[in-house]
Amino acid sequence: MEKVVVGISGGVDSSVAALLLKKQGYEVIGLFMRNWDSTLNNDFLGNPNLNNNICPQEEDYNDALKICQKLGIPLHRIDFVKEYWDYVFTYFLDELKKGRTPNPDVMCNKYIKFDMFAKKARELGADYIATGHYARLIDGKLYKAKDLNKDQTYFLSQVSKEQFKNVLFPIGEMEKSEVRKIAHEYDLITADKKDSTGICFIGERNFKHFLENYLPNNPGDIVDIESGKVLGKHSGLMYYTLGQRRGLNIGGTKDRLFVVKKDLDKNVLYVASGDENKYLISYAAIIEDVNLLDELPSECMAKFRYRQKDNKVFVTKLEDGNLLVKYPDGVRAVTPGQACVFYDGDECLGGGIIKEVLDTRN
């Protein structure tokens, strides 16, 4: 009997993934990853959405344990706190210091879920590893999930082709509603559990309050990029991203203002009115840290942030290994630090990190 180690997070997706694999005849072992020290900055305390003020991570572990007991499979718990800090959280903080908008979930998949986790699974004798990701692997190639609204290939774009060997995505061919239906049919306690949001493994916290523990606030001016008029004060450039409208706390104007630029040297946050203003639309970008899963043609589709539509792009490989990506139709709020992920239809070809947005249509 082939052995598969499943990443059990305490959510409905990984619960159903484990259930399906057991029904398919695998010897299933659960593995819960502890990637954050929940005693640090425990600002979850007093959150009315949490039961009895139990740390969310411990609540997830308790749910994972109950799921594995119900399915009759063992559950191991592994501590990757140091690795997560070294490879994901430090990267996250460094990117914020540069004025960029990082995506820690992308790096968590690359360094933790499909590296550290996979190594531990092999120590447990795994023939395969499995997760509750919404994605599909067909003949060694990565494809979008059947449920396009839940597709997670964007977050898997930095995982190497080698890392995808002997990986299973049991729910990739299913709609989310079907996953919850199965969870109800088998009376799993996670059937109606809310999907996790927030920073990968750190969970739902007050983002500003959380970051204050690690990066000092550096308030500065909010300036209208057209008039040069100071409209207010920002609490630190790291708390804002391009295209953001909410949370600017600018009074005395009826215009819908959006973040269009961050000047790190002057510590100025620039805004402009209009969702599709000229400062938000770009036509080319430089992509670094490129990870390809298949051959990348000179013309394909790409998305520059999660849940964005696919955009037609033209790709040129530069001498330094980076990519020049042009998108002549224009794309809103392409943001340094975010992932640029390439597609050929439903196949994910890989991706890279947006290094620089170019102010050109040529």
Residue type (1 letter), 119: K
45 vs 279 pLDDT, higher one:
279
Encode 129-162: b = buried (16+ Cβ within 10 Å), e = exposed: bbbbbbbbbeeebbbbbbbeebbbbbbbbbbeee
Residue 42: the pLDDT is: 54
pLDDT tens profile 94-150 = 999 999 999 999 999 999 999 999 999 999 999 999 999 999 999 999 999 999 999
Confidence at 258, pLDDT banded by 50, 70, 90: very high
pLDDT at 53 over 60: no
Which residue out of 68, 200, 300, 340 is catalytically annotated?
Answer: 200
pLDDT exceeds 90 at position 243? yes
Cα separation, 94 vs 100, in Å, equals: 9
Distance CA 97, CA 255 (A): 30
Pairing state of beta strands 281-292 and 268-273?
unpaired
Mean pLDDT throughout 36-47?
Answer: 57
pLDDT of residue 276: 78
Give mean pLDDT, residues 6-34.
97
* 119-123, 201-205, 254-258, 289-293: segment of lowest average pLDDT: 201-205
- Known catalytic residue: 340? no
- Ordered by where they begin, the domains of the chain are 3-207 (3.40.50.620), 216-273 (2.30.30.280), 281-358 (2.40.30.10)
Mean pLDDT of 163-167: 97
Residue 39 pLDDT > 80: no
Q: Residues 68, 108, 300, 348: which is the catalytic one?
A: 108
Residue 178, phi then psi, degrees to nearest 5 = -70, -40
Question: Does 108 participate in catalysis according to the annotation?
Answer: yes
Q: Is the pLDDT of residue 16 over 80?
A: yes
Nearest to 299 by CA among 310, 289, 288, 307: 310
